[in-house]
Amino acid sequence: MNKKWWNNSVVYQIYPKSFNDTNRDGIGDLNGIIEKLDYLKELGIDVIWLSPVYESPMDDNGYDISDYENISKEFGTMEEMDRLIQEADDRGIKIIMDLVINHSSDEHPWFIESKSSRENPKRDWYIWRDGNESGSSPNNLRSIFGGSCWEFDEGTGQYYFHSFSKKQPDLNWENPHLREEIYRMVRWWLDKGIGGFRVDAITFIKKPEKFIEEVSDGVDGLRVVKPNQPGVGKFLAELKKQTFAHYNIFTVAEAPGVELDQLAEYSGDEGYFDMLIRFDHVDLDMGEDGKWYTNNKWTLVDFKKAISKNQEAIKGNYTTALYLENHDQPRSLNRSIPKEDINERSAKLLATSYFFLKGMPYIYQGQEIGMTNIEYSTIESYDDISTIDQYNAALEAGYSKEKAMSFVYRRSRDNARTPMQWSDKENAGFSEVSPWLQVNPNYKEINVKKALENKNSLFYYYQNLIKIRKNPTYVDVLMSGDYEELFKDHLEVFVYLRQLNDQKLLVITNFSNKDVHLDLNEKAKQIVIGNYEDTPMLDGEVMVRPYECMVYELD
Ligand code: GLC
Ligand code: CA
């Protein structure tokens, strides 16, 4: 593997709105991030993925951009952004920006022009169509956030297309002038010296050749829009060639719809991006069409299968984003551990389960202190556009309010968006005023201050995991060692082996509250890490206690 600066990096994702408020408006800001850089340095991360901070009406919290080359007033100024890049650099931390180029905001000047008349030169920068013969939407595609993908514009008598909310019109990638302008903007950011991009929803940029009527998948007569349409590769190749390829950076793409046998085309040195964010292991509970009320039951075996099929596909020089949480997912503790068993030990188990896999580990803000899901009593307390939509969809499909709320509790994106819990002070130390989204009441027990005071805390456990990923003894086996899953059908434990030449690491994680006896036929030379104080040595067999995890270097 040819070495790159980011090969061995660990990424920390910041959702700026919820990270740290310094100017008392209840909203996190860039200065708030600068203030916490030393904290992140102490954790040991190398890269910050910053969710969008560009100018935005905040319909989707910044994923609806009205000016790609400006910073939203809520978050700060471009000078502060430049200072953040510099201050992070001074600490050896690189910033990667979120690149949202499938759509803009409907308040972007491009869209305002596009909408102004059918003759406007920017008309074709977005996707406009006439209604069908009966005068309604061109077809029955459903947007990701609910309702038709088509929104009627009175002024010009046509419909525009949006894969997400109607305030996020899709850019028309077929237009070469639009593409040029995007590439110029991307280079402008890269010239600032950022470390790269997390690329948002990128497989949506190619629309179906013909917008034909689809067979409905729900009670609304619509069918959800499908990403990764044939022909998308042409745009992705050009994007890379005109931008990323000229910089010493990395890109990580959210690329829904990409199949595992397409990894070589989409990732790695020759692919469109350096690595992909896969959803297999976080979407286990979701039905085909992404509705929260189509709740699939899953077991640890399903989870292991989802992980292993990815691990097996990224052989050789390929890598992937390893993660349990992000701003679109519920907290991992609630997903994988029964409520009564959520504690620091089970949180360390979860951390261990993914940190030794092949790929680049990502930590989402608050994960390192074990933050958990929120349950607001009314739907009005929720902010997320997708939560409101899914709640209404559940009601329309005939579920009771209580049932609809239970889907929200399980899946709402606000679960991960509650303010970061810095201390047991009012508003969890996130802000001196009431925050934009209510804090999780458990901040008195779960907070950074408390974590830093206890040498055995989850925070220091993550710090150790990061140290192990960087330890010269383990760096190669962790980066490029083979992956092999053991006890595949076991419903309580997830066990895997990483091996490079003679060196073998064995990772054992017990996802149950029972003792599990394992016959392994292996002898350990050393304990690498564990979440009980007295991790037993492995000699042929081992008894793994409730929620115990351990990593051995084998003889
Ligand atoms: C991605 C983002 C999500 C956003 C959507 C539309 O999935 O992660 O937060 O709502 O794209 O930009
Ligand atoms: Ca603020």
pLDDT tens track of the chain, all 555 residues? 568 999 999 999 999 999 999 999 999 999 999 999 999 999 999 999 999 999 999 999 999 999 999 999 999 999 999 999 999 999 999 999 999 999 999 999 999 999 999 999 999 999 999 999 888 999 999 999 999 999 999 999 999 999 999 999 999 999 999 999 999 999 999 999 999 999 999 999 999 988 999 999 888 999 999 999 999 999 999 999 999 999 999 999 999 999 999 999 999 999 999 999 999 999 999 877 788 998 889 999 999 999 999 999 998 779 999 999 999 999 999 999 999 999 999 999 999 999 999 999 999 999 999 999 999 999 999 999 999 999 999 999 999 999 999 999 999 999 999 999 999 999 999 999 999 999 999 999 999 999 999 999 999 999 999 999 999 999 999 999 999 999 999 999 999 999 999 999 999 999 999 999 999 999 999 999 999 999 999 999 999 999 999 999 999
Instruction: Report the pLDDT value the prediction gives residue 358, as an integer from 0 to 100.
Output: 97
Residue nearest to atom 11 of ligand 1 (CA): 201
Ligand 1 atom, smallest distance to 63 CA? 12
List of long-range contacts for 126-129, beta carbons under 8 Å, 24+ apart: 126/160, 126/161, 126/169, 126/170, 126/171, 126/172, 127/160, 127/161, 127/169, 127/170, 127/172, 127/207, 128/156, 128/158, 128/159, 128/160, 128/161, 129/158, 129/159, 129/161, 129/211
Mutation test residue for ligand 1: of 328, 364, 417, the one with most atoms within 8 Å of CB: 328
Residue nearest to atom 4 of ligand 1 (CA): 63
Residue nearest to atom 3 of ligand 1 (CA): 328
Pairing of strands 94-99, 196-199: parallel
Tell me the C-alpha distance between 76 and 28, whole Å: 10
Cα dihedral across residues 369, 357, 197, 103: positive or negative: negative
Instruction: Report the pLDDT value the prediction gives residue 289, as an integer from 0 to 100.
Output: 76
For the chain, domains (ranges, CATH) are: 11-100+279-462 (3.20.20.80), 481-554 (2.60.40.1180)
Residues contacting ligand 1 via CB (< 6 Å): 60, 63, 100, 164, 200-201, 254, 327-328
With CA atoms as reference, report the closest residue to 86 among 192, 197, 244: 192
The answer to whether 131 touches 152, Cβ cutoff 8 Å, is: yes
- Separation of CA 76 and ligand 2 centre (Å): 8
Residue nearest to atom 2 of ligand 1 (CA): 200
The answer to whether 11 touches 45, Cβ cutoff 8 Å, is: yes
Please tell me whether residue 150 adopts helix, strand or coil conformation.
strand
Tell me the C-alpha distance between 125 and 176, whole Å: 9
User: Which positions ≥6 away from 127 have C-beta within 8 Å?
Assistant: 160, 161, 169, 170, 172, 207
With CA atoms as reference, report the closest residue to 62 among 21, 104, 95, 24: 104
- Separation of CA 2 and ligand 1 centre (Å): 32
| 269-292: pLDDT as tens digits | 999 999 999 999 999 998 777 889
DSSP string, 201-244: TGGGSSPPSS-------STTS-EE---S-TTHHHHHHHHHHHTG
Tell me the C-alpha distance between 318 and 86, whole Å: 30
Active-site residues, by number, are 200, 254
Q: Is 67 exposed, middle or buried (0-12, 13-18, 19+ CB in 10 A)?
A: middle
Which amino acid is residue 488, in one-letter code?
Answer: K
Please tell me whether residue 487 adopts helix, strand or coil conformation.
coil
Ligand 1 atom, smallest distance to 103 CA? 12
- Separation of CA 166 and ligand 2 centre (Å): 27
Mutation test residue for ligand 1: of 56, 58, 63, 197, the one with most atoms within 8 Å of CB: 63
The answer to whether 140 touches 208, Cβ cutoff 8 Å, is: no
The answer to whether 391 touches 407, Cβ cutoff 8 Å, is: yes
The answer to whether 1 touches 479, Cβ cutoff 8 Å, is: yes
The answer to whether 143 touches 164, Cβ cutoff 8 Å, is: yes
**DSSP state at residue 272:** S
Mutation test residue for ligand 1: of 50, 51, 60, the one with most atoms within 8 Å of CB: 60
pTM of the model: 0.98
Please tell me whether residue 364 adopts helix, strand or coil conformation.
strand
Q: Taking the chain, what is the end-to-end CA distance rounded to the nearest angstrom? A: 26
Residue nearest to atom 6 of ligand 1 (CA): 63
CA 374 to chain CA mean position, Å:
18
**Whole-Å CA distances, 116 to 67, 124, 151, 154, 529:** 18, 12, 15, 11, 62
- Separation of CA 433 and ligand 2 centre (Å): 10
Ligand 1 atom, smallest distance to 163 CA? 6
- Separation of CA 413 and ligand 2 centre (Å): 21
Ligand 1 atom, smallest distance to 100 CA? 12
Ligand 1 atom, smallest distance to 326 CA? 8
**Whole-Å CA distances, 412 to 147, 302, 365, 397:** 18, 22, 17, 18
Token readout for 502 is 């003679």
- Separation of CA 227 and ligand 1 centre (Å): 13
Residue nearest to atom 7 of ligand 1 (CA): 201
Token readout for 62 is 């910044």
Structural Rg of the chain based on CA atoms:
24
